[in-house]
Amino acid sequence: LLEVAFRSNAPLHSAMPSTLASRSCWWRTAAKIACRVIRTAQRLGIETVSVYSDADRNALHVRLASEAFRIGPAPASQSYLRADRLIDVAKRSGAQAIHPGYGFLSENTEFAELCASSGVTFIGPPANAIATWALRTPPRRSWSGPACRSSPVTMATTRSRSFCWNRPRKIGFPVMIKAIRGGGGKGMRIARSEAEFRTQLDSARREALKSFGNDDVLLEQCIEQPRHVEVQVFGDQYGNYLYFFERDCSVQRRHQKVIEEAPAPGISPETRVQLGEAACRAAAAVGYVGAGTVEFIMDAKEKFFFMEMNTRLQVEHPVSEMVTGVDLVELQIRVAEGQPLPMRQDQVRLSGHAFEARIYAEDTPAGFLPTAGRVSHLCAPAAEAGAVRVDSGVRSGDDIGVFYDPMIAKLIVWGPDRPAALQRLCAALRDYQICGRPHQPGLPAGPGRPPEFAAGRVHTGFIEQHRDRLLASPPPGPRELALAALGLFLLRRQAARQATVGLADFRLNHAHREAVHFRLGDGPGSKDAHLVVEASPDGLLTVHGGGEAEALRVRARSYRRTSGAGAGLSSKGGQRRRTAGAAFPLRLVPGGGRLGAEPLLRRPAAPAA
């Protein structure tokens, strides 16, 4: 077991006593959750060991861990899905426990059994519970109750092809096809007619086999535009169960979540209790131990239907942590070590509201397709204890590869109520700087957010329903134009100085002035913008034109060009906005607005000819 002497009378969310002995614990998981788990382990005084593929050689989780071991080539089937290699590293490093994170082998029965037979603690549920819920179809009469129903479900294994061809007719189209060991929208397809069923089934199985090493799927009736509501549950080895309230994960694209929040907006206290109690009954029915998530679909009248149980910590677990004050990773460790749950259900308090926005490297206009390449610049919003948090395994200069999930980070915020939390989320998203790859910065909370989102009227088809509005690009304002002109001027100045040994813009006793022209948009509706940048002998730069009532004035501190393209322009109040181009550190002089501490300025794309 994990040999850590926890102090039983300490509150769950308090820091662990400094007298804890340091023990070795081994974390093997995706980069972002690995970093998250490692930080909690370090706070508890537990040594950590990471593994990495060739693609992750320079990843952040490799640097954070006490030790790191190469496990194979970049493809997951040759590295992170190789259970034998993982156990071998655990033995060689002397690790006592494995935290599987999410994805890869986190819900793999055989891996949990292999850990047990190898004398390594699996920080997760017992193998039999994983096996039961991996099928997503255990007996439900003993726990569901009148408030929780189930949609028609059947299994479709690789040995029952002829059976599953006929089953959708009995279920009724549209049919949802889901990988039994899936997660994150992988191995999930919708067949809306018999004509497309075979194609969608084969597609789901191929993706499931590549991602999870198993191509078994289940079929269930697809309920159109429901809410996706899930409950965070916990069980210990003594038959005690708790729920940490619900999360609404309805805002999705390609069956993958984009925005999660806790608690679910608009749900009555009675429904909240019914959801939590149904989830705990589901966990108790199989003797569940550790963290799990019971997922439901809910209609407009708050009638909810059981969907599945994920036998791991979810990507969106931070929103539950923010509204309850409980470190769920720490609780996982305590339960795996054999401790009972340290509180009763009536001691789990719900406080405020929290949002999580997933930041993906993807091309939204092209159908949210993942993109790969280097993140040339990344600057996250400043963290605020209990209010703003960023979970990420990506830094400036890191590469987003084609082998794993394209998520860059998770931005989590808390507020005393939903409107305050949403306001904080929007401000933090505006402050997020990422450049080098196309990315989706929390669409529904972005500039084009529909009023329905602010009102909490969400469902799983929300993004598709509001797609045109969400993907619309607002025209640049006067301040963005002024900053773009300044960036283009500095680029030209740098190139000229390199060619003329620094004399390109030298003027005796008067300022150097240069015109900058932009074309905004293409086609008949395009407009031209004309600005003038003035450089005085004392280094003050002033931009005139572009519609600003007052000239924008900055004093350049450096002309060193950073690598790659960028994003993250600024506007008044320190709110950063994004265009593409090269980056220069700048500082505004008093009276010219605020850019914050050395923000980055970008050159826009070249105007159309």
In this prediction the pTM is 0.74
Task: Indicate which residues carry an active-site annotation.
Answer: 312
Least confident of 125-134, 253-262, 300-309, 590-599: 590-599
Instruction: Considering the domain delimited by 233-471, tell me its CATH architecture.
Output: 2-Layer Sandwich (3.30)
Euclidean distance between CA atoms 361 and 576, whole angstroms: 19
Closest CA to 598 of 377, 384, 420: 377
Residue 53, both tokens: 């593929």
Task: Average the pLDDT over 306-317 and give the result.
Answer: 90
| Residue 607 in this model has a pLDDT that exceeds 80 | no
Residue-wise pLDDT tens digits, 336-373: 999 999 999 999 999 999 999 998 888 877 778 888 88
Q: How far is CA 312 from the centre of its chain?
A: 16
Q: What is the mean pLDDT of the segment spanning 535-564?
A: 60
Question: Into which CATH architecture does domain 152-221 fall?
Answer: 2-Layer Sandwich (3.30)
Tell me which DSSP letter residue 508 carries.
S
**Phi, psi angles (nearest 5°) of residue 247:** -125, 145
Q: Stretch 525-550: mean pLDDT, rounded?
A: 76
- Whether 23-123 and 233-471 share one fold: the answer is no
Q: Which amino acid is at 534?
A: E
| Residue, of 118 and 605, whose pLDDT is higher | 118
Kindly state the tokens that stand for 185.
């929208």
CB 325 within 8 A of CB 258: no
Report the pLDDT value the prediction gives residue 253, as an integer from 0 to 100. Answer: 86
The pLDDT, as a whole number, for residue 541 is 83
Supply 257's token pair: 């979540």
Peptide bond into 263 cis (omega under 30): yes
Mean of the per-residue pLDDT values for the chain?
Answer: 78
* C-beta of residue 519 within 8 angstroms of C-beta of residue 528: yes
Q: CA nearest 566: which of 422, 399, 379, 402? A: 379
Alpha helices by DSSP H, 218-258:
none
- For residue 420, the 8-state DSSP code is H
φ and ψ of 529, to 5 deg: -125, 130
Residue 428 has pLDDT above 80, yes or no: yes
Q: pLDDT tens, 480-494? A: 788 888 888 888 888
Contact present, 413 and 419 (Cβ < 8 Å): no
Q: How far apart are CA 410 and CA 41, in angstroms?
A: 20
Q: What class has domain 23-123?
A: alpha beta
Look at residue 110 and tell me whether its pLDDT is greater than 60.
Answer: yes
- Measured torsion, CA atoms of residues 18, 23, 28, 33, in degrees rounded to the nearest 10: -10
Distance, first Cα to last Cα, the chain: 68
Domain range list for the chain? 23-123, 152-221, 233-471, 478-601
* Token pair recorded at residue 547: 């519609």
Q: In the 8-state DSSP scheme, what is residue 387?
A: T
Q: Which tens digits make up the pLDDT trace of 521-533?
A: 766 777 888 888 8
Residues 282/283/286/287 CA torsion (nearest 10 deg): -150
Q: Which tops the pLDDT comparison, 564 or 266?
A: 266
pLDDT of residue 471: 78
* pLDDT at res. 133: 76
Retrieve residue 225's tokens.
């535009």
Closest CA relative to residue 281, chosen from 247, 246, 235, 335:
235
